[in-house]
Chains A and B, each alone.
Chain A
Amino acid sequence: MEVARRNNIDIPGLCYKKGVEGQGRCRLCLVEVKEGNRRRIVSACVYPIKDGIEVTTTTDEIINMRKDIILMLFLRSPNNEYISSLVKEYNIVIPERYLDKDRKDDCILCGLCVKACQSMGTSAISLVDRGINKKVSTPYDDASKDCIGCGACAEVCPTNAIKMTDENGKRTIWNRTFELIKCSVCGEYFITKEAYDHMENKLDEEKRPICDHCKKKAIAQKFKESFVNIS
């Protein structure tokens, strides 16, 4: 997958994100690999790259599989914008009898949000239950004391399935409401207090909350000053 993306070859993948170990969950990245005499279908995000293997990213067989996989995702999330656009792109015919138009589940269980939360060090959400009942949630669907409201999960979600609302200085996500704090420079709300404290503990930063926008400006200013000082 990495190699393909670096070379601008398109292999679709919903559960893949650069920097995260390939999971093999969504199955969209299937390609055909020829290694020696052996020819098989494998997931590009997991299959180990070796010298001398031949990878074919598009065949009739692969296109048909992709179409069926998108169909399955659509039957699961018929009201999701992104999946609907894939259906149009691949020209997929939907068997209407098996379509439940009222289904509202946008989550396709790619697991990226769980990985993001793990890498934040909080692990507030996880993949729960199994089979068709599998879902992402906090324990007991309750407000989790491990959640810091950082929103990394919502950001990384490929189908926009995680609801995060920022309103009146408060953020609500995963059934918990957080207080947002303001940037000490521009005065806009930008992060929850818990997330800020969490990162402060990890990064040993300055004690003044600064939003990303202002932080970039401050760093750019420092560069500018250092150049001026050189000359």
Chain B
Amino acid sequence: MVSRKIYVCCGTGCLANNSYEVYLRLKERLENIPQTEVQTLVKSTGCNGLCEKGPVVKIYPDEISYFKVTVDDVDEIVEKTVLKGEVIDRLLYFDTGLKKRLRSHRDASFYKHQHKLALRNIGEIDPTNIDDYIERGGYKALEKALTMKPEEIIDEVEKSNLRGRGGAGFPTGKKWRSCAGYNDFPKYVVCNGDEGDPGAFMDRSIMEGDPNTVIEGMIICGYAIGAHNGYLYIRDEYELALKNMQKAIDNAKERGYLGKNILNSGFDFDLEIVRGGGAFVCGESSALMASIEGNVGEPRAKYIRSVEKGLWNKPTVLNNVETWANIPLIILNGAEWFKKIGTEGNSGTKVFSLVGKVKNTGLAEIPMGTTLRQLVFDIGGGIINNRPFKAVQTGGPSGGCIPKEYLDISMDFDSLSEIGSMMGSGGVIVMDDTTCIVDVARYYMNFLSEESCGKCTTCREGIKTMLDILTNITQGKGQLEDIDLLLRIGETVQKASLCGLGKSAPNPVLTTIKYFRDEYEEHIINKRCPAGTCKNLTSYYIDHEACIGCGICSKNCPVDAITGKIKEVHVIDESKCIKCGTCFTKCPRDAVKIGGMKVEA
């Protein structure tokens, strides 16, 4: 008697590609199959991480993974794979590195280097079904923790060397120990689910795809520090995460994992979701707490730490979603087990969201110590169209850019801070030669100027001034003294701002000037954007010596601005050119070159 399970990814990414319809159609078709032939079970799961190749459908126990599945494929999947265990080649993952199709996603270079801890259940369970979680060891850590002394739990977390996965990497155990030491009640446990870094979606994936692991982690902390109430602050934009998290809380309450006298231990703990209102600054811990209290998200200077005076001025432990997701594993398997993964001082794994100009965009959970090169090229598959690697931005708007000289850097908290960037939430934005680094700096300043709460002078006015300067530069109005002005104002904003947002805001600007000063100067002196992004500073022309007259450029030009006969040098009519860059990317001989701003004669 054959039994098969079919998992359809219903994370936000795949949902955007109609995976829910695929799920419904599969369910419908399988209901019509007599259970004597094959026993089937269809589940909708959370995000598998490779959203670009979605919808993703996996069949167990055969370990067959299908990608880019459409509703039209369902009948064939049922006939061939579900009923007969046959593989449909065209739906398999095509690995560009190995240049062949793979039966299971686990063999894909994107997945095989990963070590899933925080993401261990996602894609394998229905997040709205608590039994799926329990079946895979869920809430065993809580059971164990309730038999331990609070002191023992804090010891274990401290020994494990787990560091905050939200940004700064503060030692989690130390934070808990600090808070437990204050004799001031009530105490609170908070989850920072306000994942605001643009380009980061690991927390979304965990909250949508495995909400119970976060809940379990928080209850364990509550028990360890003596708190009976917890709050999950979830970003307004994450509709599905809010929904799945609430369902999980309701389920956990029903089963006695939340509420009064949890598992007969005498310990009470309750969780409440607080929905964000669309403010990046609320990802800053003191602003987040102000928001929970019913105020605007203005941070406070943290001379007195939140572990001493946090929510409603009471001792509070605030941790990031991914940090919470690691707690159950540390309690179950022990600190020593956790320390074996990763490097000295940087234990465990980190979930990175690899996005931008990289072939395999998605979430990758890797041991700390993996190099940037491995992440971008082995896992990511390298740059799209094999263009040259330029830099990555890590840590979002608070982080810095890393140029190719540091491709062999170890992805861990300490190494990244040493070169002026930071781990941040784990967003890794990959850039190639067609990305203008000055424009990237301008983009981040623009983002931060809209997200600044406006409380302190330096952040509010300083970022605006830096944005004005950068905008001038990208429009051809820059002057050399602007670079020094950026550095000077940037330094003051870093030192004088009240909170982390302001203090780290200049980082993208300062690091891009540090590693790509020549690109800034090119914009200013030669009024030219070498990446072809700043339209005012870009003009395209064809190099006579390199052009072979193949005509690919003129065929693809959307405004017919290129003329030339076959096998003869082609010419771009600049008056018609809209600078879309299509000819530049399509030319097989790199004969299209980027000139600078055209000065009116």
Contact = CB atoms under 8 A, between A and B. Distances in A.
A41 B281 CA distance: 22
Contact of B457 (A26, A95, A98): A26
Contacts of B462: 68, 72
B456 A134 contact: no
Interface stretch (B17-25, B87-95, B223-231, B463-471): B463-471
B461 A72 contact: yes
A27 B465 contact: no
A60 B457 CA distance: 20
- Report, as a range, how many residues of chain B touch the other chain: 20 to 34
A41 B464 CA distance: 23
Contact of A109 (B304, B449, B454): B454
B457 A73 contact: yes
A218 B488 CA distance: 58
Interface stretch (A43-51, A148-156, A168-176, A189-197): A43-51
Interface string B411-451: 00000000000000000000000000000000000000111
Interface in A111-135: 127, 129-134
B452 interface: yes
B498 A24 contact: yes
Given A73-B461, A76-B461, A130-B296, A41 B496 contact: yes
Classify the interface of chain A: helix, strand, loop or mixed: mixed
Contact of A132 (B279, B460, B481): B460
Interface in A7-24: 24
A24 B456 contact: yes
B468 A27 contact: no
A146 to B, nearest CB: 18
Contacts of A98: 465, 468-469
Interface in B200-225: none
Contact of B495 (A47, A65, A127, A130): A65
A131 B452 contact: yes
A28 B457 CA distance: 9
Contact of A41 (B453, B455, B495): B495
**Interface-centre pick from B304, B460, B464 (highest chain A CB count, 10 A):** B460
Contacts of B456: 24-27
A95 B300 CA distance: 31
A42 B503 CA distance: 12
A75 interface: yes
A47 B451 CA distance: 26
**Interface-centre pick from A24, A27, A132 (highest chain B CB count, 10 A):** A27
A68 B494 CA distance: 12
A180 interface: no
B433 to A, nearest CB: 31
B304 A48 contact: yes
Contacts of A30: 495-496
Contact of A27 (B464, B485, B497): B497
B303 A27 contact: no
Given A24-B498, A108-B457, A132-B454, A68 B449 contact: no
A202 interface: no
A130 B287 CA distance: 13
Given A27-B457, A98-B465, A131-B460, A42 B304 contact: no
Contacts of A68: 458, 462, 488-489, 492, 496
B122 to A, nearest CB: 34
A130 B279 CA distance: 10
B303 A134 contact: no
Contacts of A65: 492, 495-496
Nearest to B485: A95
Interface string B465-496: 10011000000000101000100110010011
Nearest to B497: A27
B29 to A, nearest CB: 51
Nearest to A133: B454
A198 to B, nearest CB: 25
Contacts of A42: 301, 303
A72 B458 CA distance: 7
Contact of B301 (A24, A73, A132): A24
Interface of B: 279, 281, 296, 300-301, 303-304, 449-458, 460-462, 464-465, 468-469, 479, 481, 485, 488-489, 492, 495-498
Given A42-B301, A127-B454, 10 more contacts: A27-B457, A47-B303, A65-B492, A68-B488, A68-B492, A69-B458, A72-B465, A127-B296, A130-B454, A132-B452
8 contacts: A24-B300, A27-B458, A27-B498, A48-B303, A72-B461, A76-B461, A127-B296, A131-B450
Interface of A: 24-28, 30, 41-43, 46-48, 61, 64-65, 68-69, 72-73, 75-76, 95, 97-98, 108-109, 127, 129-134
